[in-house]
Amino acid sequence: MKHRFQRLEFLIGNSGISVLKNKHVAVFGVGGVGSFTIEALARAGVGTITIVDYDIVDLTNINRQIHANDKTVGMVKVEAMAARLRDINPDLDVRAVNQMILPENADAFFDANQFDYLVDAIDMVTGKIELVMQASKRSIPIVASMGTGNKLDPSRLKISDIYKTSICPLARVMRRELKARGVKSLKVVYSDETPITPDHSSMDQIPSVGRKAPPGSCSFVPSSAGLFLASVVVNDLLNEVELVDIM
């Protein structure tokens, strides 16, 4: 009998479908990277997905965020994404959390939830470090995205350990901060493409010296990183079962 995950079942068997259906994955960051991770997880049949972000959909998000369009501009990001996911799989338990994860609220958030896997798709170093520390403290698997802005070549994306990364400025900061905190490893998706210097001349107001300017971004590098993240999560979760031999 046909069902929405039948083509995936051809690959991983009914046992794999059952494993994913009974897993709870949390994705932090519903932007150009995270939105594609979330949708890929939903289309892979993950049964419960918590999505965490504090922002609203902006007009400038349309070029790279899967939930962003003229109808969703101005909406809370997690609500726009949750609505999209329910259209993909009405049986999905999607939990939309409109907040920023910070050291002062993270313990309460994690105490109230049980996750099988965490995905870090946010761009604030403070939040990224907190997620890694929470994952370490609670023995929850985690995979993190490094920088995808100011880049145009998705073929330079790699899955690696944070201490084996190079080129990426965000990864460099994370290596330093995690080493200082005694973190021995972290699975990441990163790009070894040298970042392009963005041209901000089209902005109404160019940020003053010392203010952080937004990076340039395209439709295909962040999205590719997001799909890499989803592949890591799904394959790691499926390692819990012996897949059917399809050869």
CATH number at residue 54: 3.40.50.720
Q: What is the pLDDT of residues 47-80, one digit of tens each?
A: 999 999 999 999 999 999 999 999 999 999 999 9
> What does DSSP say about strands 24-28 and 48-53: parallel, antiparallel, or unpaired?
parallel
Has residue 1 been placed in a domain?
A: no
Please report where in the chains the tokens 């972000």 appear, as a residue.
53
Asked if residues 139 and 48 have their Cβ atoms less than 8 Å apart, the reply is no
pLDDT at 243 (0 to 100): 47
What b/e sequence results for 125-164 when a residue is b if at least 16 CB atoms lie within 10 Å of its CB, and e otherwise? eebbbbbbbbbbeeebbbbbbbbbbbbeebebbbebebee
Q: What residues of the chain score a pLDDT lower than 70? A: 206-211, 241-247
Has residue 4 been placed in a domain?
A: no
Q: What is the model's pTM?
A: 0.95
3-state secondary structure 50-85: EEEECCECCHHHCCCCCCCCCCCCCCEHHHHHHHHH
Q: What is the pLDDT of residues 95-132, one digit of tens each?
A: 999 999 999 999 999 999 999 999 999 999 999 999 99
Q: How many CB atoms within 10 Å of residue 247?
A: 3
Handedness of CA 219, 220, 221, 227 (dihedral sign): positive
Which structural domain range is residue 35 located in?
12-196+216-238
Has residue 29 been placed in a domain?
A: yes
Has residue 78 been placed in a domain?
A: yes
